[in-house]
Chain A
Amino acid sequence: MDGAKVGERMLECRGLRRSFGKIVAVDGVGFHINPGETYGLLGPNGAGKTTTISMIAGLLERDAGEVVVAGEPMTTHSVRAKGALGYVPQDLAIYPDLSGRENLMFFARLYGMSTAEARHRSDEVLALTGLADRAGDQTKQYSGGMKRRLNIGIGLLHRPRLLILDEPTVGVDPQSRNAILESVEGLSGAGMAVLYTTHYMEEAERLCDRIGIIDHGKLIAEGTRGELVSMVGEGDQVRLSATGNLTGAAAKLSARSWVRQAKALDGGIDLVVENARSELPAILTDAAVDGVAIRSVEVTEPDLEAVFLHLTGRALRD
């Protein structure tokens, strides 16, 4: 992989806009990705994620805005900027009549590698994707998971500095999905910048250093998971299933500065605290002092689903 210049952002896009007739699919979207960073573009279906990355990848003309990839301006005709970019489309984009190796060789050569280099790199990717023993089979004989892995492998062939993955786990079985997520985690660890679009909240939370939430073609929030969650303004919820002097214990917990709310219920205590993970020992200690016997503890932290609900008034998968 070519090293990025010091301080250079791997992707910079500003004010992206694209309409289809009267429908504005993307409206003023802008964000950046640093080298080695995984950026998630999270939004429901039809939010504008694919249109945004189509403009970033130089597939689609934009009505307005600017895209710079590895310091090179990106348009539909930019050859140099495209050379720094790996693109894995949402739909399978492989040739069914060619073998896995032939698919890889073709794209490797298309990205400028010599025959020997392409063969060597294809072998590496076949090993990486676990397809080495089926390399000579036509891909129409592959399982869905194998096709998905090859689809991603093609995007990695030329060791891009920025990899765009457009909902790579849609329609994938849980086992293959987990393998894909592990692969993506490994890529950012190797210094590659990754732009990952998904409508699965848990994928964004697991993979992404920063997340942009997109809805109706607009980037409505951006930040780390913690930053986004803090926007909601809600604390973590802790439910203690317990017996004993529940009212006394709840009153004592209420006095703590980090407790926003403590309420004794039939068979337990419900709390809203700022950071449940760090304060849980203190909560259990306070409850025990009043002779309360705790049977179980349940902690619920606000997630990106809650953030999306907070920002848009509807669930992510509506």
Chain B
Amino acid sequence: MRAAWLICVKDLRARLRDRSALLIGIVVPLGLAFIFNSIFSGISGASDVISLGVVNADHGVASQQFTSHVLPAVDRSGLITIHTEPSLARARALAANGTLAAVIVIPAGFSARVQANQPASMQVIGNVDAPVSTQIARSIAESYAADLNRVRLSVATAAGSTPLSPAQTQALAAQAAATSAPVTVTDVSAQTKELNQKSFFAAGMAVFFLFFTVQFGVTSLLEERNDGTLARLLAAPISRASILGAKLLTSFLLGVISMAVLVAATTVLFGAAWGNPVGVTVLIVTAIMAATGIMALIATLARNAEQAANWQSVVAVILGLIGGTFFPVSQAPGVLSSLTFVAPQAWFLRGLGDLRGGGVSVVWVPALAMLAFAAVTGGLALFRLRRLAEV
């Protein structure tokens, strides 16, 4: 164990000194997480709180019910803030410059048309770079309209062909409002089981580059063989197991250092919310083990360090893409969604997502899945690594 630790410390010192591990393990993922977060925060509109505007040009019974009951309920969910704007022109300007992600416009005469049993419509003005937020605003409006129509239909059926009285319209709108609010809030609350954007890109980039970071440890065995220093280690009074163990330990510790720094940095700099520390630690440790096992196995299949690095990079990129580190693929249709489970990255991200929606116990399934990756690939790698530990 002493010899393994000495070799590991030597490797860590050399890696930190040549700065490549520092770049791959910390600087690049942090930079990319920042860039992706900056780019996609405008496009997706899926930041922590969505700002929606509402312009009520009607001030009738139906629109008052919408602004007084439906929208406040949405606002109370904490995920969307509603801003009442006095004019359409101002609201349109705020949506254009991105201050508001979208605006729901209730035109004048809306309530009268509802009351007269005539077609009525609301408008949604969206920021071009916030399509998701625009869709959310549209869904809220459509949901209220659908409920309004459903209730109006039932009232109209009861009243025959007689136009609705003001009392009936008010009752209808109140009924629609009472129906809409829970539906809208339920839809939005589904997001609590997914990582928010900042956390997603922080975790995605961290686990994507983790697979590159752990390469340095195992591949150094091939480098030592190529450089002749492996012969010197083999001639020393230490066991071969300590040499192999040192390389795996180096990979593991590089992964730990990289992930620890990234978790801390993205939390402080970006406000990423990783979740319960115990659960996050379990997920990180098992992800590092899985990454080390897979990268070690690939290294044993290569003839030299250069070939190993190339193969490892290809596998890391493919698994990263399948695992949804750049964009979520867990809800993709068909084969793609099933395919994600062959990537430890997917289990890692899924574990973090589940952790946001539940207690620590939810991480055991993803953690066990990653441990299985580690056991199978690591076991095969250890078997084959003995071949590498020869001059």
Whether A211 is near chain B, meaning CB under 8 Å from some CB there, is no
| Cβ–Cβ < 8 Å partners of B228 in chain A | 89, 91-93
| Cβ–Cβ < 8 Å partners of B334 in chain A | none
State whether B238 touches A97 (Cβ < 8 A).
Answer: no
Q: A85-B235, A89-B231, A94-B229 are in contact. List 15 more A-B contacts (CB 8 A).
A: A77-B239, A79-B239, A82-B235, A91-B228, A95-B10, A95-B14, A97-B17, A98-B10, A98-B14, A106-B10, A107-B236, A109-B6, A110-B236, A112-B237, A154-B232
Secondary structure of the B contact surface, majority rule: helix
Assembly CA distance A54 to B6 (angstroms):
24
Which residues from 50 to 68 on chain A have a C-beta closer than 8 Å to any C-beta of chain B? Answer: 54, 57-60
Whether A196 is near chain B, meaning CB under 8 Å from some CB there, is no
| Interface residue range, chain B | 20 to 34
| Cβ–Cβ < 8 Å partners of B238 in chain A | 79, 110
Where the two chains meet, the residues of A that have a C-beta atom closer than 8 Å to any C-beta of B are 54, 57-60, 76-77, 79-80, 82-83, 85, 87, 89, 91-98, 102, 106-107, 109-112, 154
Assembly CA distance A80 to B239 (angstroms):
11
Nearest A residue to B390 by beta-carbon distance? A60
| Cβ–Cβ < 8 Å partners of B14 in chain A | 95, 97-98
State whether A60 touches B237 (Cβ < 8 A).
Answer: no
Q: List 11 A-B contacts (CB under 8 A).
A: A60-B391, A77-B239, A82-B235, A87-B232, A87-B235, A92-B227, A93-B231, A95-B14, A97-B18, A109-B6, A110-B6
Interface string of B231-257 (1 = CB under 8 A from A): 111111111100000000000000000
| Cβ–Cβ < 8 Å partners of B303 in chain A | none
State whether B237 touches A95 (Cβ < 8 A).
Answer: no
Q: Which of A79, A85, A87 is B231 in contact with, Cβ under 8 Å?
A: A87
- What is the CB-to-nearest-CB distance from B274 to chain A, in angstroms, rounded to a whole number? 33
Assembly CA distance A8 to B18 (angstroms):
47
Secondary structure of the A contact surface, majority rule: loop
Whether B265 is near chain A, meaning CB under 8 Å from some CB there, is no
State whether B3 touches A110 (Cβ < 8 A).
Answer: yes
State whether A82 touches B237 (Cβ < 8 A).
Answer: yes
Q: Which of B13, B17, B235 has the most CB of A within 10 A?
A: B235
| Cβ–Cβ < 8 Å partners of A77 in chain B | 239-240
State whether A57 touches B235 (Cβ < 8 A).
Answer: yes
State whether A89 touches B237 (Cβ < 8 A).
Answer: no
Q: Which of B6, B7, B237, B390 has the most CB of A within 10 A?
A: B237
State whether B232 touches A83 (Cβ < 8 A).
Answer: no
Nearest A residue to B3 by beta-carbon distance? A110
Assembly CA distance A87 to B238 (angstroms):
14
| Cβ–Cβ < 8 Å partners of B6 in chain A | 106, 109-110
Assembly CA distance A112 to B13 (angstroms):
20
Interface string of B371-391 (1 = CB under 8 A from A): 000000000000000000011
State whether A58 touches B235 (Cβ < 8 A).
Answer: yes
State whether A82 touches B236 (Cβ < 8 A).
Answer: yes
Nearest B residue to A154 by beta-carbon distance? B232
Nearest B residue to A92 by beta-carbon distance? B228
| Cβ–Cβ < 8 Å partners of A79 in chain B | 237-239
| Cβ–Cβ < 8 Å partners of A80 in chain B | 237
| Cβ–Cβ < 8 Å partners of B233 in chain A | 110
Interface string of B1-34 (1 = CB under 8 A from A): 0010011001001100110000000000000000
Known contacts A54-B391, A91-B228, A95-B10; is A76 also within 8 Å of B234 by CB?
A: yes
Interface string of B148-169 (1 = CB under 8 A from A): 0000000000000000000000
Assembly CA distance A112 to B228 (angstroms):
21
| Cβ–Cβ < 8 Å partners of B234 in chain A | 58-59, 76
Nearest B residue to A109 by beta-carbon distance? B6
Assembly CA distance A93 to B226 (angstroms):
10
Which residues from 22 to 48 on chain B have a C-beta closer than 8 Å to any C-beta of chain A? Answer: none
State whether A102 touches B391 (Cβ < 8 A).
Answer: no
Assembly CA distance A36 to B51 (angstroms):
87
